[in-house]
A and B are shown apart, each in its own frame.
Chain A
Amino acid sequence: MTAAAIGADAPRRVASGSIRRSRRWALITSYFFLILFAIFFLVPPYYQLATATKTSEQISNQDTNPWLPALSAGSAGLNPGGANAGKANLAKIKKDSWLPAAVQGLMANVSQLMNETDFPIYFRNTAIVTVCVVIITMVIAVPAAFSLGRMKFWGSGILATGVFLTYLVPDSLLFIPLFKVVGGLGLLDSYWGLVLVYPTLTVPFCTWIMIGYFQSIPKELDEAALIDGANHIQMLFRIFIPVALPGLIAATIFAFTVSWAAFVYPMAFIYSSDQLVLTAGTITSLVKADVYQWGMIMTAALIAAAPPLVIYAFLMDYYIAGLTAGATKG
C-alpha cells in the first residue's frame, strides 16, 4: 500500500517539475525577445540624443565615434548656422565648464534652436492645432461611437464598417483632393486648415476604438439606466463616458499623437514659417538645400518628442492607476 502510494506520487512530482521547467523556458524566450525589441526600438532615440550634444563640426568629424555623445566642448565658430547670439550663449555656457561636454553641447543646441530659429512658433502652432483637433475629434467621435455601438438602427452596422474603411485611405492619397478643399475654403497656408483636415484621420479611428469600448459594456447597464429614468444624453454622459474612460483616453492619446506627428498635410498645405508646425517646420528651416544642421535637427526632434512621451509615460499610468484602484477585493 505504501509502495503504491509512493509510486503514485513520483510521476506527479515529475509532471509539476516539467511545468516549472516549461515556464522557465517561456520566461527566457520572452526576456530574449523583449530585450531584443527594446534595443531595436531604443537605438534610434539614443543616437538622436547622442547627436544632439554635438556641433556640426563634431558630427562631421570622422575620427570620433558617432555613437558616443560629445566628449569635448565643440567650437561654436564652425557651426554653420551659428549667429552671434549663439556664440555668445555658447561662450556663457562654456564658462560653466564644470558641466560635462555633452550637456554643454546639448544646451548650446537648445539655446540656438530657441533663440535663432522659429522653433518656438512651430511648437506653439503644433500645440494649438493638436488641442483643437483632440477636442473636435472627441466631440464628433464619442457621440458617433455611442450611437453606432449602442443604438441599433437600420444601417448602423454598415455605417460602422464604413467609418473604419474611411480610415484605411492613406493621407498621402487624400492630400491632393484635400488641397482643393482647403484651398477653396481659403485656409491654405494657415494652421487652421490643419485643424480642419486632421480630424479626417483621427475621427474614424477614434470612433472605431470607442465603438468597441461602448459595445463591451453590458446591455443591462443601459437598461438599468433606462428604467432609472435616464434619457440617451444622460446615459451617455453619466454612464457610458465614465465607464468607457480607459477607451476614451486611448482614443484621445491616439488623436493627440496623430495630429502632433502628422507630416504630409503640413508639408503640403503650409509654407509661411509663422504658420508651420513642428514636423514640417523643423525640416524646412534646418535643412537648407544640402546643408543639414544635424545637431539642431536632433535637438528639435528630442524636444518635439517630449510631450507625447510625457503623456504616454505618466498620464496613461496615472489614469490606469486611478481606474483600477480597489479593483481587487480588499
Chain B
Amino acid sequence: MANVALRKVVKKYDRTEAVRGIDLDIADKEFIVLVGPSGCGKSTTLRMIAGLEEVTDGEILIGGNLVNDVPPKDRDIAMVFQNYALYPHMTVYENMSFGLRLKKFPKPEIKSRVEHAARILGITELLERRPRQLSGGQRQRVAMGRAIVRNPKVFLFDEPLSNLDAKLRVQMRTEIKKVHQTVKTTTVYVTHDQIEAMTLADRVVVMNAGTIEQLGTPHDLYHTPRTKFVAGFIGSPAMNFLNCQLAEAAGGGLSTRLGNGLTFKVPADRTQRYKSHVGRDLLFGLRPEHITERRGDLRPDFQEFDATLDVVEPMGMETMVYFMVDGIEVCGRVNPSAAGKPGQPMRLVAELSHMHLIDPQTDAVI
C-alpha cells in the first residue's frame, strides 16, 4: 500500500523525447489509468515506474521513497504484461510462486498465498497446468495471480487486455475491477482503449505526445474536456467537430453559425463564458449522443433541425445516423424506431446544453 508520485519526469531516447516532464500524484489504493494513442508515452511512463526504463530527468517516488536508482525487484511492485509473459516451462503454481521462491519465503506461506490468489481469480483447478494449456483469459488471470501473490505496494498493468477477443476483454475488465475492490492496491493501468479507461479508473490521465493533456475522473473528462484532443479521444463514436462563427443573436444572447445555413442558439447560461469570443471563427463540438430524435417536449436549450441522412447504422439498442454539414460528416445517435432512411431527411434535436466551443488556435475548450 503506497502512493506514487512523479515529479517532472522526462524520458529521452537518443534524439526523441518520449515523455516530456510529467507531474502526477497517485493516492494510496487509487486506480489510475494512463490512456492515449500509441506513442504518447504512457507505456514508457509505466515502465519508468516499474524500473524497466531509466529516468532521464525528474523523480519517481513510491511510498515517499525516491526510487530512480532502485532496481525493479526492490521497488515492491508487480507488473502484468500485454502478452502475459508467463514462464512457459513452469506450471501455473510455479509461475505464481516464482517471485516468492526467489525471495526464499517459507513453503507453507507460499502455498497459502498462491491458493488465496487462485481463489480470488477462480483458477484453483488450473494450478498444475502449464501456460500453453490455458486460454487467453486464463493466462491473463495467472499473470494477475502472479502479481497478487507478491502482495506489492503497486500494481502495474501494461495493456493487459489487448490480446484478448472483444467479449473476453469486457469480462476481464470487470474481473480486474473486482480484484482491485478486493485487494485494494494502488494500481497504474495503461491502455489505448478509452472505454477501459473510463470503466476502470478512479482517475484517468489522458496523455498525448509525451505530456498529460488532462487528469480527472471519467465523468470530468467526458463532460468537461479541457482540450480538443481530450474531447475527441474520450467517447465513442468521437465528438463531432464543426467550424463555426460565434455571433450576437438577433433576440439577445449568442449564436453559432455552422455551414449549410445551420445556426444554433447558445444556451443562455453560456453567454457570459463565450462573450469575449464573439466574431471569431471557432470549433463547435457536440457528441453523437447529444444529436437525437425528438423525445417529448423541447427544452429551451434543445434545438430542432433537419438533416438529409447519408448512412444509417443500426446497432441494436440504438442507431447511428450520419449526415453532412459543410462537407464534414456528423454522427448522431437515435432510437432505432425513429431512424430515417438513407437519402431521406430526418428531423433531429441538438442538445446544446452539452455543446463545446474550442479555440482552433490553442485547441483549448473555451
**Residue ranges of A at the interface with B (Cβ–Cβ < 8 Å):** 218, 220-221, 223-230, 234, 238-239, 242-243, 245, 326-327, 329-330
Taking a contact as CB atoms closer than 8 A, the residue among A218, A224, A326 that contacts B132 in the complex is A326
The answer on a CB contact under 8 Å between B102 and A223 is no
Taking a contact as CB atoms closer than 8 A, the residue among A221, A229, A238, A329 that contacts B103 in the complex is A229
Some 5 contacts from A to B, beta carbons below 8 A apart, are: A223-B85, A226-B73, A228-B73, A245-B89, A330-B133
The answer on a CB contact under 8 Å between A227 and B89 is no
The answer on a CB contact under 8 Å between B81 and A220 is yes
A330 and B96 alpha carbons, distance in the complex (Å)? 22
A273 and B82 alpha carbons, distance in the complex (Å)? 62
The answer on a CB contact under 8 Å between B52 and A221 is no
The answer on a CB contact under 8 Å between B83 and A227 is no
Shortest distance from the beta carbon of A330 to any chain B beta carbon, whole Å: 6
The answer on a CB contact under 8 Å between A221 and B132 is no
Tally inter-chain residue pairs, CB-CB below 8 A.
Answer: 63
- Interface residue? B50 (CB, 8 A): yes
Cβ–Cβ < 8 Å partners of A238 in chain B: 98
Cβ–Cβ < 8 Å partners of A224 in chain B: 79, 81, 85-87, 146
The answer on a CB contact under 8 Å between A227 and B130 is no
The answer on a CB contact under 8 Å between B78 and A242 is no
Chain A residue at minimal CB-CB distance from B79: A227
- Interface residue? B63 (CB, 8 A): no
- Interface residue? B88 (CB, 8 A): yes
A330 and B87 alpha carbons, distance in the complex (Å)? 19
Cβ–Cβ < 8 Å partners of B77 in chain A: 227
Contacts A227-B78, A242-B89, A326-B133 given: A220-B83 contact, CB under 8 Å? yes
Interface size class of B (residues with CB under 8 A): 20 to 34
Taking a contact as CB atoms closer than 8 A, the residue among A218, A242, A330 that contacts B85 in the complex is A218
Shortest distance from the beta carbon of A236 to any chain B beta carbon, whole Å: 13
B189-230 Cβ-contact flags toward A at 8 Å (1 or 0): 000000000000000000000000000000000000000000
Chain A residue at minimal CB-CB distance from B134: A329
Taking a contact as CB atoms closer than 8 A, the residue among B82, B98, B132, B135 that contacts A327 in the complex is B132
Chain A residue at minimal CB-CB distance from B71: A226
Shortest distance from the beta carbon of A72 to any chain B beta carbon, whole Å: 57
Interface residues of B in 100-114 (CB under 8 A from A): 102-103
- Interface residue? B72 (CB, 8 A): yes
Cβ–Cβ < 8 Å partners of B86 in chain A: 224
Cβ–Cβ < 8 Å partners of A327 in chain B: 132
Shortest distance from the beta carbon of B356 to any chain A beta carbon, whole Å: 40
The answer on a CB contact under 8 Å between A227 and B135 is no
Shortest distance from the beta carbon of B152 to any chain A beta carbon, whole Å: 9
Shortest distance from the beta carbon of A233 to any chain B beta carbon, whole Å: 11
| Given contact pairs A227-B99, A234-B102, a sample of 15 additional A-B residue pairs in the complex whose CB atoms are under 8 Å apart | A220-B81, A221-B87, A224-B81, A224-B86, A224-B87, A226-B52, A227-B72, A228-B99, A228-B146, A229-B73, A229-B99, A229-B102, A239-B87, A243-B89, A329-B135
Taking a contact as CB atoms closer than 8 A, the residue among A223, A228, A245 that contacts B98 in the complex is A228
Cβ–Cβ < 8 Å partners of B102 in chain A: 228-230, 234
Shortest distance from the beta carbon of B3 to any chain A beta carbon, whole Å: 20
The answer on a CB contact under 8 Å between B133 and A329 is yes
